[in-house]
Amino acid sequence: MPQAREATVPPIHGRCDERFAAVRDAFEENFRERGELGAAVTVLVDGQPVADLWGGWADRARTRAWEQDSLVNVWSTTKGPTALCAHILADRGLLDLDAPVAAYWPEFAAAGKEGVLVRHLLSHRAGLAGLREPQTLAELYDWELTCARLAATEPWWEPGTRSGYHAFTYGFLVGEVVRRVSGLLPGEFLRREVTGPLAIDFTIGLPAEEAPRAAELDIPRADRARQAALFAQMEPVAVASLLNPPTGAAAANTPQWRAAEIPAANGHGTARAVAALYGVFAGRGSFDGRRILSEKAAERAREGQGLCRDLVLGAGFGHDTEIALGLWLSGADGSYGPNPRAFGHDGAGGSCGLADPEAGIALGYVMNRMGPHVADDPRKMALVEAVYASL
């Protein structure tokens, strides 16, 4: 029987310190062994790049090379920068994480939610993992409508008692509090306070003029089938969180998705941009010589809110996890490396931002071939393991 041919590794561009050669090896292996299409990875140590690599294709037809400045939708890796907006406001004394959400958003007190705290929004403990009534993509793109529906709905569980992943609603919940306090939607707040001053190539949504730089997302048919099998086993709350409305690569490639403000899921950026944003947390509030958060506020962002089996993602993880105030802790399972207090966020299909203040490490990994995994995609884990093996 003839042996299957080994996948061809496309040219890999960028630079990698000799000490971190294992990262380049893992990046190449992702193309050779794990079905990578196009991708980039950046690793920072104490704010300085030790690996900055890219390669492959920006479209599934393989007609456009992945370039140094290629942008891609990073799905829930967007949640880290959105949480950063709330932490900046809290650091300035403008937002109390222990105050009721209704203190800033009075309409939110409806349907028994008067006791929901801001920290419950950040830690996916508000009980609002998804809307109960069916929602279309067009309705998801309507900020005012989605926020009004969230304000009126009742929680799926007693707020504050358990975590249940708020896949899309997280961005509207945290984002509307940011808007009520600052007067700005989180995308504009992030631009004014962080990405603009630090020249970070990351936006929530994507300006139309940047569309030529955007990579096309794709998910192979076999991975779509694996996802469908997983979704078929989910409880109603998980379906509401992850599938109301149904989204995916095809939707995220459209101008309508890119034009919307979806602070939980439609951040667009490079690997360098993701590493820089998570580098604020890795740098204990500072990045590139600029202080974004006080050390106390940066530390508070990884304040664990209780280990439990997540009500939405429990079946996907297969073990208990702990969400901090906007990001996931690495924990005993090592999702973000061997330091259990390292933290970060994965995006649907594989992307990742990671911060480890003790090691001074920040990592950004972005790609356009979406895998079926809920989290801890093998490509991401191979890169994380290579980083720590190099220290």
Residues designated catalytic: 76
Q: Around 289, how many Cα atoms within 13 Å sit in the side-chain half-sphere?
A: 2
DSSP-based three-state secondary structure for 52: strand
Q: How many C-beta atoms lie closer than 10 Å to residue 26's C-beta?
A: 25
Q: Give me the residue label for tokens 């907006």.
A: 85
- The per-residue DSSP string of 74-133 comes to -BGGGHHHHHHHHHHHHHTTS--TTSBGGGT-GGGGGGGTTT-BHHHHHTT-SS-SS-SS
Spatial contact of 349 and 217, defined as CB atoms under 8 Å apart:
yes
Name 183's Cβ contacts closer than 8 Å, sequence gap at least 6. none
Name 50's Cβ contacts closer than 8 Å, sequence gap at least 6. 16, 17, 19, 20, 23, 43, 44
Find, among 48, 62, 59, 58, the residue nearest to 16 by Cα: 48
d(CA 304, CA 63): 45
Which H/E stretch holds residue 315? helix 314-317
Q: Does residue 255 have a cis bond before it (omega within 30 degrees)?
A: no
d(CA 63, CA 73): 19
Find, among 311, 323, 267, the residue nearest to 130 by Cα: 311
With 0-12 CB in 10 A as exposed, 13-18 as middle and 19+ as buried, what is 207? Answer: exposed
DSSP-based three-state secondary structure for 292: coil
Q: Give me the residue label for tokens 């509401």.
A: 240
Which is it for the CA torsion 182, 184, 188, 192, positive or negative? negative
d(CA 36, CA 368): 8
Name 37's Cβ contacts closer than 8 Å, sequence gap at least 6. 56, 57, 60, 62, 218, 367, 368, 369
